[in-house]
Amino acid sequence: MSILLRSLSLLVGITLAVPAFGNCLTANETKQGVLLTREAPFYSVFYKPDGPGLTEQRLMERDGSLQPVSAVYLHPLLVEKRVSASGTHELKYANAIALDDLPEKKNWQSDTTLFINGKKSDYGWGEETIASCSYKVWAINSRLKLTELPPIIFEQYYSPELHLVLRSVRLGPSNQPLSEVRFDRFQIGWGN
């Protein structure tokens, strides 16, 4: 078979695999699994239902290379396990209720334990350095919701030893950093 015929055959195969213009994805079709793709920067993810949850196979471009990630979700909104080049991250929830009734309940909360490569993590603890001094800090995400205004979101790094917030990051609605206060030095007392 000539290269032209193979190319034409491949083109016909791809054309038949792509939904016709005007056909939209239906809930029934997603039961077979669905592939979603963004072209630039490249990001492709395949979701497949698995009982009340789903599995995910992702391929994304990061730092000029394609990186695979797989995940298991208890519910499409609740990741349980993620495996990538950086290791395996597992979340265990104390209150993993069904989230389909979230619009009626308005919120959901659960104590969560993070395991990194099978080892329980001191989730929420971090370290902050000012000058050459390092301090253990709690990483705290605070969200203030006011009626008819966008939420005010901060990620604060609090040192229980010093009783001070050593760094504060203002976040946008999709958790992107908007501004940050980070200190380079400290001084005891008030003076010049």
- pLDDT tens by residue, the chain, 192 residues: 333 333 333 333 333 444 444 578 788 888 889 998 988 889 899 999 888 889 999 998 988 899 999 999 888 878 899 998 878 989 888 876 667 777 787 777 777 777 878 887 755 677 888 888 888 887 877 777 777 888 888 888 878 777 778 888 999 887 889 998 888 777 776 655
Q: Note whether 69 and 88 are same-domain residues.
A: yes
pTM: 0.56
> Is residue 77 in some structural domain?
yes
Q: Note whether 130 and 92 are same-domain residues.
A: no
Q: Note whether 103 and 149 are same-domain residues.
A: no
Q: Note whether 65 and 85 are same-domain residues.
A: yes
Q: Note whether 40 and 80 are same-domain residues.
A: yes
Domain enclosing residue 67, as ranges: 30-120
Nearest CA-CA partner of 110 in 124, 125, 91? 91
Q: Note whether 82 and 136 are same-domain residues.
A: no
> 137: how many CB neighbours lie within 10 A of its CB?
22
What is the number of structural domains in the chain?
2
Of 103, 120, 137, the one marking the end of a domain is 120
Dihedral of the alpha carbons of 173, 174, 179, 183, in degrees to the nearest 10? 120
> Is residue 86 in some structural domain?
yes
> Is residue 187 in some structural domain?
no
